[in-house]
Amino acid sequence: MVDTVKSEIERIASAHLGKAGDGTVVKPYVTPDSRDASLLVPIPRHLNRTAYGITDADFVGHDVWNCYEVSFLADNGYPVNGVMVIEYPSDTPNIVESKSLKLYLNSYNMMKFDADSETDLYWGFEEVVCQDLHNALYGMNVDIGLDKLMFSPMRAMFFPNRQNSNVTEPFKVQFLTIEDIVDVSKIQFDVFNEDPNTLVITNTASAVNRFHTSSLRSNCRVTNQPDWGDVYIHMKGDRSLTPDSLLKYIVSLRKENHFHEEICEMIYKRIMEKINPEELFVACLYTRRGGIDINPMRANSEDVFNRIVNVTRLMKKTMRQ
């Protein structure tokens, strides 16, 4: 009887498990008991950029991934849990598909690391992860020892037992939330596939405009599941975009199927094509899914990128993250 009840519960509960976004059945995944770098799936950036006429020369930027469910075992079997932050530049040949990164990190969950000290334990874990990610991002085997790690184009930092203290909204003074300055009840939102024609130009006489909205929703290219995020846009120049039209454009991404990095680059490219501002910075800070949040940021120069990130403290978290 117990087995019959258990089977019935599993049958009911599995209604949406083991299925892809289109409803087709996929095989259940079995987590390995030790590191498996083959789980990482590199995806060439150019595959999406070519369709939109985007190249590395269009911007500078970084992709920042916060991984909240990182765990491995000390040599005595004690679980070491923490948060890992992965940051790498936007000109790497590849990105890493997010679910594959989660599965890769999960492969460490039952793996033991031997070290003489707690510090060596964390560094040993970090070195292995950095090497695997570097190979996936750049598509080559590169020897990066601990002495070169901090100077590598990719930086991974592991913080044991870190508390999320930066959960306040630190950008509101710097960025105007569009919904606070326009009456959304008087705007007709009827375009839900990406449409740059929704953007309306306005003259600004070299003014700086910084806008924010939490209305970003796009969909995962692989699973078609929704991804939610906050958009931060800094523009400086003789022309800008009206806040209501910018909001309509962000909402038009609601049925788009792209990776997070692609959405950010698409927004950047459309604004640049529309008004060619002196300064442009776009950040899409997505909420976590599967224990990972992804935060692509793009700007038209290193100076603009560093200045906006430093002034607005944009590397800190949003309320939703």
Q: HEC states along 119-158?
A: HHHHHHHHHHHHHHHHHHHHCCCCCCCHHHHCCCCCEEEE
Q: What are phi and psi of 130, to 5 degrees?
A: -60, -45
Instruction: Determine the pLDDT at residue 101.
Output: 93
Cα separation, 252 vs 233, in Å, equals: 16
266 pLDDT more than 80:
yes
What pLDDT band is residue 1 in, cutting at 50, 70 and 90? Answer: low
DSSP for residue 27? P
- Residues making up the chain, counted from first to last: 321
Between 184 and 171, whose confidence is greater?
A: 184
Cα separation, 219 vs 49, in Å, equals: 17
Between 165 and 205, whose confidence is greater?
A: 205
Q: Average pLDDT, whole number, for the chain?
A: 82
Q: Which whole number is the average pLDDT over 203-209?
A: 84
20 pLDDT more than 70:
no
pLDDT, one tens digit per residue, over 27-57 is: 766 778 889 999 999 999 999 999 889 998 9
What pLDDT band is residue 263 in, cutting at 50, 70 and 90? Answer: very high
pLDDT, one tens digit per residue, over 126-176 is: 888 988 998 999 886 544 333 332 333 344 555 444 333 343 444 444 889
Q: Which CATH fold topology does 21-160 show?
A: GTP Cyclohydrolase I, domain 2 (3.30.1130)
Instruction: Determine the pLDDT at residue 13.
Output: 59
**Is 298 in a helix, a strand, or coil?**
strand
- CATH class label, 176-312: alpha beta
Cα separation, 151 vs 137, in Å, equals: 16
Instruction: Determine the pLDDT at residue 311.
Output: 72
220 catalytic residue (yes or no): yes
Nearest to 196 by CA among 258, 241, 261: 241
Pair type for strands 60-74 and 79-89: antiparallel
Nearest to 260 by CA among 233, 234, 292: 292
SS (H, E, C) 88-112: EECCCCEEECHHHHHHHHHCCCCCE
Instruction: Determine the pLDDT at residue 301.
Output: 96
pLDDT above 90 covers a percentage of the chain that reads 48
The answer to which of 72-76, 117-121, 289-293, 306-310 has the lowest mean pLDDT is 117-121
- 3-state helix, strand, coil split of the chain in percent (to 5) is 35, 30, 35
Instruction: Determine the pLDDT at residue 166.
Output: 41
Long-range CB pairs of 11-17, under 8 A, 24+ apart, other chains included: none
Could you give the C-alpha distances from 233 to 19, 119, 169, 202, 321, in angstroms and in order? Answer: 36, 39, 16, 16, 18
227 catalytic residue (yes or no): yes
Catalytic entry in 58, 227, 230, 293? 227
Tokens (6 digits) for 200: 């309306």
pLDDT, one tens digit per residue, over 84-122 is: 888 889 999 999 999 899 999 999 999 988 877 777 777
Catalytic entry in 67, 130, 220, 264? 220
Domain(s) of CATH 3.30.1130.10: residues in the chain: 21-160, 176-312
CB 244 within 8 A of CB 199: no
